[in-house]
Structure formats: structure tokens, C-alpha cells
Amino acid sequence: MWPVCTFHQRPVWVAFTVDDSDGTRLRSGESLANAAREVAALGAERIMVNCSAPEAVTTAMGELATLSVPFGGYANGFISVAPLQPGSTVDKLASRTDLDPAAYAEHAIKWFGQGATAIGGCCEVGPAHIAALAKRLSERG
């Protein structure tokens, strides 16, 4: 079982990072769906996928859409986080050149279409990306 606690009756949101080549699996190899079901059963009020490639987050949203709790995601803009070692910093990672604000918004709109209710951005996703997403969502009504 995954430990989840509520400090002073505060809501608990749990975020998982998924394998960039397989958004159905955590980076450690376990099933995202199984992990998400367990934390939902323990009381998590929202389940997120973060710090993963936008394409992997899209796949992960399909997994989370089967749950009975709200879900969402926020992707990073790195080519890969594989070079990241414990204790190192993201300044060693290379940024994607194909993930401008419009491209990021296109990915995130898919998450919204899959039922995600909390969408944002992680490393290398900045205010311009979020503004483009907000504009796209506003246009959808």
C-alpha cells in the first residue's frame, strides 16, 4: 500500500511521474493505474502526473480517466530526464525545441478532453505556455 496521510484534515493530492516512453508505467516500472487506485482508496482527493514528457502525460490521462477522483497533469519540456541522477539538478538536461507555447497547449488540450481538471506545467514550461493554454481553453468556452 502507498502511504497517504491527511495533515490536519487538509486535502491530499498525489502526483506521479511516468516513464517518458510508456505513460502507463511509473519511472520505477510499476503500473500507474494500480498506484493511482491505491492512493485513491487511501483518500487522495486528486491524482496528478507530473514532470514527464507531454506525450507520456497524454497516455497517463487515459489511465487516470478510469478513476473516480479528479485528475490532471503538468508536463516538462525536456528531451529526457534520464541523465538526471539523485542529487543533481535539471540544469544538466536539454530542453525540447519543438515545445513552444502553442505546441504545449495542443498537448494540454488533449488532457482536458480526456477529463483532466487540473492542468499546468513543470520545468521548461513557463508563463507563455500557460497563457497559450488559457487562451485555448477560453476559446473552447
Q: Cβ distance 55 to 22 under 8 Å?
A: no
CB atoms within 10 A of CB 118: 15
Is 51 annotated in a binding site? The answer is: yes
Distances (CA, A) of 136 to 52, 103, 127: 22, 11, 14
Secondary structure (DSSP) of 19-36: ETTEEEEETTS-BHHHHH
Secondary structure (DSSP) of 100-112: -HHHHHHHHHHHH
Is 122 annotated in a binding site? The answer is: yes
Is 5 annotated in a binding site? The answer is: no
Q: Binding site residues, as ranges?
A: 51, 122-123
Q: Binding site residues for Zn(2+), as ranges?
A: 51, 122-123
